[in-house]
Amino acid sequence: MSKPFVAIVMGSDSDLPVMEASFAVLRSFGIPFEARITSAHRTPEVTKAFIKDAEARGCQVFIAAAGMAAHLAGAVSATTVKPVIGVPMNASMDGLDALLSTVQMPAGIPVASVAIGKAGAKNAAYLAAQILSVGDESLAEKLREERAANAEAIRQKDEALQA
């Protein structure tokens, strides 16, 4: 069976510069991923076919980014029982419209929504890594090591401030 991977879908190429923050985090942990530009509204059939195909090929977590009437994460969740992480994009209304569209899902079709924009793009990848780490102790250890390194960096900055 192929190595578990993460699939990232985004509604437009205008989302790509933000979602590259997800790519960077996944690469830093050596997590394989695929990224596609496909829309819940403009290319619904392509979106559905890709999600089904990715799931059949071993995708374990989906990340879906969209702005405005951000239905992409919900459409992905409607198509798979794998975990779906939604990243609201700031395409209008400071991204609040996308945040609400992403997070307000009917019971039984959940989306784990993260923050708007780049912070959310990063945390979507960390959350995907944490989900994969449930069955991968070496990945869990990498996550713990990064947290320890981040804590040490904060400690050193605090120490410098006190000097």
> What residues are designated binding site?
12, 15, 42
Stretch that binds ligand RP5, among 9-17, 24-32, 107-115, 144-152 (CB under 6 A): 9-17
Residue in this structure with the two tokens 């960096």, named with its chain if needed = 153
Q: Could you tell me which residues come within 8 angstroms of residue 82 by beta carbon, excluding any fewer than 6 positions away?
A: 55, 59, 60, 61, 62
In the range 59-78, which residues lie near ligand RP5 by CB under 6 A? Answer: 66-68
Stretch that binds ligand RP5, among 10-18, 51-59, 125-133, 143-151 (CB under 6 A): 10-18
The pair of structure tokens assigned to 129 is 């890594």
Q: Which is nearer to ligand RP5, 121 or 129 (CB)?
A: 121
Binding flag, residue 15, ligand RP5 (CB under 6 A): yes
Compare residues 7 and 91 and give the one whose CB is closer to ligand RP5: 91
- The candidate with the shortest Cα–Cα distance to 34, out of 17, 49, 45, 22, is 22
For residues 142, 145, 146 and 151, what is the CA-based torsion angle, rounded to 10 degrees?
160
Q: Which residues bind ligand RP5 (CB under 6 A)?
A: 11-12, 14-15, 39, 66-68, 89, 91
